[in-house]
Amino acid sequence: MAPLLKNHKPWPYVVNIQPSEINGLDMERRIDLTQLRAIDKIRLQSRKGLLEANYHPKIIQAENVVLH
């Protein structure tokens, strides 16, 4: 799990997400891959939206920055 934080950041370990009907975000957010956490799946109550597939390569690239 990684948090969705407010505001755009140009850092290599951040993925900036634009709001859309599919992802259900209310404003531009960022995923900060330096803040990865393990959580119990019981804490996942309901889904608010779905992250579009075009962000997946960016997430993998940011993970590589953090984990290598």
Q: Output the pLDDT for position 1.
A: 87
Q: Output the pLDDT for position 63.
A: 94
Dump the DSSP string for 27-50: S-EEEEGGG-----GGG-------
pLDDT in tens, the chain (68 residues): 888 899 899 999 999 999 999 999 999 999 999 999 998 988 888 877 899 999 999 999 999 999 98
Q: Output the pLDDT for position 20.
A: 94
Q: Output the pLDDT for position 42.
A: 87
For 63, the token pair is: 């993970």
**Taking the model in full, what pTM does it have?**
0.83
